A and B are shown apart, each in its own frame.
Chain A
Amino acid sequence: MITATPPVKEKQNYLNAEHGLKSWLLTQDHKRIAILYLIAVSVFFVVGGLMAVLIRLELATPVGDLMDSNTYNKVFTMHGVVMIFFFLIPSIPAILGNFLLPLMIGAKDLAFPRINLLSWYVYMLGGVFGVVVLLSGGVDTGWTFYTPFSTTYSNGYVVMTALAAFINGFSSILTGLNFIVTVHRMRAPGLTWFRLPLFVWAHYATSVIMILGTPVVAVTLFLLMLERGLHIGFFDPAYGGDPVLFQHLFWFYSHPAVYIMILPSMGVISEVISTFSSKKPFGYTFIAFSSVAIAVFGFLVWGHHLFVSSQSAYAGMVFSILSYIVAIPSAIKVFNWSSTMYKGSVRLEAPMVYALGFIGLFTVGGLTGLFLSAMGLDVHLTDTYFVVAHFHYVMVGGAIMGYQAGIHFWWPKMTGRMYPKAAALVASILTFVGFNFTFFPQFLLGYMGMPRRYHVYPPEFQVLNVMSSVGASVLGLGYLIPAIYLIWSLKYGAVAGPNPWGATGLEWQTSSPPPTENFEVTPVVTTEAYDYSALEVTQVG
């Protein structure tokens, strides 16, 4: 049983505790910092999304009629850089993780509140560099910055873009550091490791990747800047460098970075499926340890991006088999989530529909990863639209669906207000349908041989490209509708109450929105997580 605080007065919470811009910009409250991140990350999502709109418009016809090749290359580069470094990587950890981690473990705040605020400013500084690049004409390297194109031949603002990602990385490191220390040191009395919500396990595993992987990409981007600016030879053979070395260094971070994006989403899904089935997740320990396994093995698979790059065939074999090994923990999670619903009490509220959509799309994304781990098949598929479809299924179908499930799940906790549920159901279904129409045709395009990053393409690829563009407009609607009703709900939404979903986590034991100090009395945990028998049945529904 959880010893919860008595309900506090509705009026006193972290949102109305202080007023004025200064109270936000200098706040050390993890919940307010989460809101700062929410606003900034949403702005970048809009920027990256607009780039996606331009890409899909251009590709509706085989010829380049909307923009020239140079502009197109800059647009897909900004789409990738903004979506990965400024949206996907910070989205769930820096917004939901920041907001929920202390609440879930019964703490007043993260271990280092000032560092937490610093991480937001570092993120914004990186963002400023990104925006400066965008406004001053962009860059055309692709988000992967492959050398020697980026260091010698690109005609955009390569150093400035690399600097934006470089600076942004430090914000990631600071967040990861904060989470790890917090989970180790700040847990409420009685909250043992195996009583932690799976969301916390997922964020712990993510944080380990953040602090071990991000420094490597920082070093790599630094070397890139040195070669671009000072012609010190690391990667360009003209200066005595090795062009493939960059790819090894880059993917050593950037493949684990995929797990930085997907693991927090998996944490969200575990919470949502359990809550809306009113049942403890099936295989709690398997889900928890599969997150750790993904974090560990994720560091050993980077070479599967290099099967056609002249990498040794024997090295390729090692990377191939390890890529299959890292897929197993993901399969375990999917089976356990599905089984959680068995003999549960399933309610198809919007967060649950998003979560079920996640399971479907992530399953396809994961299975198509097996195609690309197979060396002989990857030779045909790599650098085609098959890869584009695969990683959008994982990152958009997986990570963003999870983010939306999480936002819809915890919105009443964060704001104290409930959004219109019918509109949310429509949006979740539109997102699922629109997503599949957008990206499934791209698998077919890829097997037919359409290379990625093509501004113009042979006419036989047009039908599938038009399908993809039409699907993208449905998907866009799926993103637009929540933006409207969520903002609307801030003022007009029904008052949510402390636990509108009948969930078990400690965060639901305090008022919505929570008070600045989270809990009036530090909770003492005496039971395992997801103990639905302790809940009043009247809270459900």
Chain B
Amino acid sequence: MLEAKSFELFPEAASTIAGHVDAFYAFMVLVSAFFSLLIAFLVVFFAYKFRHKPGEKVVYPPYDEHSLSGMLLEVVWTGIPLGLSMIMFVWGVSIYFTEARPPADSMEIYVTGKQWMWKIQHMEGAREINELHIPVNRNVKLTMTSEDVIHDFFVPAFRTKADVLPGRYTTEWFRATKVGSYHIFCAEYCGTKHSGMIGTVTVMSEADFNAWLGAGSGEGSMAEQGQSLFNQLGCGNCHASTLNNQNGRCPNLVGLFGAQVDLKDGKKVKADESYIRESVLYPQSKIVAGYDDIMPTFKGLITEDGMLKLIEYIRSLGPKNGVINSATPLPVQSGDGSNVAGKPVPMKVPGAPPSAAAR
């Protein structure tokens, strides 16, 4: 919690992973303390016990280092550190894989870093700067990119961080366990006001969070905003965004997100955030099998925030493997009102005021 504390030794542990990291850290501290004290003791003890006495001459050699006992010592103090370090390696990897892989049911939030602020977009439309409101006890996945240099989204209380890179998407996830406010730090040096690129995560109860989210931005969900952008940029002139429409010039975007795409050069690629971003900015880099290289670049015409909205819109057009992210409000698809998961979603007519549930 951020309430004024002048001095503390351990940061608050407020995520499911924090306990694992702290336990591992405690193990590492114990092992290190044992070996540091052992070495310190040996050095001080030997320095005293075998101190030089005037007139003394060391019998040379006092031992043969190639003797059995000498070799045995070398084997022991090679083997024990090696064994311990392999335990550390495996433990470290296992925690890392938990940290690096967001659970499938995570709630999605988008983060754009820029010198020197954090811009957060919730799928329901709410936007914030240097603040992140999340519900307690829910998996939260951040999809992050940068408008300029490399930043790093670090929440010490959650024991996790990830670099935020220009030109690509990185992810970070956590599940907060305690209601409260915690620091967000930019951990990758990013220029003059690097130390001012800080913010606050506010972890709220589910009810408080829903109330907060309900207050919304009034601009509609990210997918809705993405749809306006889609229309504004004229994407729909070539790309069909409805199931029945099979405009022949360009790939249909329904069901694209998360699917495998066959490319002209015979390779396959998963249609994730990075693929969509690349296809908008550098359309010539990956051509879908059966189509020509005719798409113009939209580089310079769309902001990073806008790109995230566009991606969210495309995600809303089609579910991945039949699973719909529960937080994603699906827009109405003309001619086919049902969606694959069969979950009821608020109906929305483009241009109509967004319903409260969609925000």
Contacts and interface: CB of A to CB of B under 8 A. Distances in A.
Interface of A: 69-70, 73, 140, 142, 144, 146, 148-149, 152-155, 236-238, 242-244, 277-280, 282-284, 286, 307-310, 313, 316-317, 320-321, 324-325, 327-328, 331-332, 334-336, 338-339, 341-348, 356, 359-360, 363-364, 367-368, 370-371, 373-380, 382-384, 444, 447-449, 451-460, 462-464, 531-533, 537, 540-541
A541 B54 contact: yes
B57 interface: yes
Interface string B186-210: 1111111111101000000000000
B156 A449 contact: yes
Interface in B1-22: 2, 4-11, 20-21
A338 B198 CA distance: 46
9 contacts: A242-B167, A317-B93, A338-B42, A346-B47, A346-B52, A360-B43, A374-B28, A380-B159, A458-B198
Nearest to A277: B50
A146 B194 CA distance: 14
B93 A375 contact: yes
Given A345-B50, A444-B9, A448-B9, A243 B32 contact: no
Given A153-B148, A345-B56, A359-B43, A307 B96 contact: yes
A379 B162 CA distance: 8
B160 A531 contact: no
B302 interface: no
A537 B57 contact: yes
Interface string B35-67: 110011011001100111111111011110100
B156 A380 contact: yes
B100 to A, nearest CB: 5
Contacts of B305: none
A92 B184 CA distance: 41
Contacts of A444: 9
A331 B81 contact: yes
Interface of chain B: mostly helix, strand, loop or mixed: mixed
Contact of A324 (B88, B152, B162): B88
Interface of B: 2, 4-11, 20-21, 24-25, 28, 31-32, 35-36, 39-40, 42-43, 46-47, 50-58, 60-63, 65, 70, 73-74, 77-78, 81-82, 85-86, 88-89, 91-100, 115, 148-150, 152, 154, 156-157, 159-163, 165-168, 170, 183, 185-196, 198
B95 A375 contact: yes
B35 A376 contact: no
Interface of chain A: mostly helix, strand, loop or mixed: helix
A347 B168 CA distance: 60
Contacts of B194: 69, 73, 453-455
A463 B93 contact: no
Contacts of A153: 115, 148-149, 191
A451 B154 contact: yes
Contacts of A149: 149-150, 189-191
Contact of B32 (A236, A317, A370, A537): A370
B197 to A, nearest CB: 10
Given A308-B163, A328-B78, A347-B51, 15 more contacts: A146-B189, A149-B190, A244-B165, A308-B152, A332-B77, A338-B39, A341-B50, A363-B35, A367-B32, A368-B32, A375-B93, A376-B96, A447-B10, A451-B154, A464-B7
A448 B11 contact: yes
A320 B24 CA distance: 16
Contacts of B10: 447-448
A383 B185 CA distance: 11
B183 A449 contact: yes
Nearest to B79: A328
A356 B47 contact: yes
B150 A243 contact: yes
Contacts of A463: 6-7
Contacts of B21: 376-377, 379-380
A373 B92 contact: yes
A327 B50 contact: no
Given A69-B196, A376-B99, A451-B154, A338 B43 contact: yes
Contact of A345 (B35, B58, B74): B58
Contact of B92 (A320, A325, A541): A320
Given A328-B85, A367-B35, A462-B6, A140 B192 contact: yes
A342 B69 CA distance: 14
A528 to B, nearest CB: 10
Contacts of A310: 162-163, 165, 168, 170
Contacts of A324: 82, 85-86, 88-89
B258 to A, nearest CB: 20
A6 B98 CA distance: 70
Nearest to A286: B74
B43 A356 contact: yes
Nearest to A460: B5
A278 B92 CA distance: 43
A376 B92 contact: yes
Contact of B7 (A283, A345, A447, A460): A460
Contacts of B61: 280, 533
A55 to B, nearest CB: 13
Q: Pick from B8, B63, B150, B159 the residue with the most CB of A within 10 Å.
A: B150
B27 to A, nearest CB: 10
B193 A69 contact: yes
Contacts of B97: 313
Contacts of A459: 4, 6
A277 B63 CA distance: 14
A338 B154 CA distance: 40
Q: Pick from A140, A371, A463, A537 the residue with the most CB of B within 10 Å.
A: A371
A155 B149 CA distance: 13
A283 B8 contact: no
Contacts of B149: 146, 148-149, 152-153
A342 B161 contact: no
A359 B154 CA distance: 34
Contacts of A345: 50-53, 56-58
A157 to B, nearest CB: 15
Given A347-B52, A447-B10, A328 B93 contact: no
Contact of A367 (B36, B165, B166, B192): B36
Contact of A142 (B77, B187, B189): B189
Contacts of A316: 96
